[in-house]
Amino acid sequence: MKKFLAAIIAVIVMTTAFATVLASSYVGNAKSRKFHYADCSMVNKMNTANKVYMNTREEAIAAGYVPCKRCKP
């Protein structure tokens, strides 16, 4: 029974984490302090460790991020 509960919890945690990434429309770079649309080519080149996922433009600006000059989010 304990194993069953642990499996259920693991599925919920993974689903939530996955949904968070999918729902994020913007990706910020913690190092350069710039943010991009999630589909900007710069995002693919970005180091995974520097990626910060954000849902709204306001959220990015409030966190001190500057819009990317290429994708102009």
Nearest-approach distance from CB 9 to Zn ion, in angstroms: 36
Indicate the SS3 state at residue 30. coil
Contact between 61 and Zn ion per CB under 5 A: no
Contact residue for Zn ion among 27, 38, 40, 60 (CB under 5 A): 40
- Strands 34-37 and 51-54: what pairing? unpaired
Contact between 35 and Zn ion per CB under 5 A: no
Surface-to-core class of residue 49, CB atoms within 10 Å of its CB (0-12 exposed, 13-18 middle, 19+ buried):
exposed
Nearest-approach distance from CB 67 to Zn ion, in angstroms: 8
Indicate the SS3 state at residue 51. strand
Contact residue for Zn ion among 26, 36, 38, 65 (CB under 5 A): 36
The gap from C-alpha 1 to its chain's centroid, in whole angstroms, comes to 35
Q: Which residues bind Zn ion (CB under 5 A)?
A: 36, 40, 42, 68, 70-71
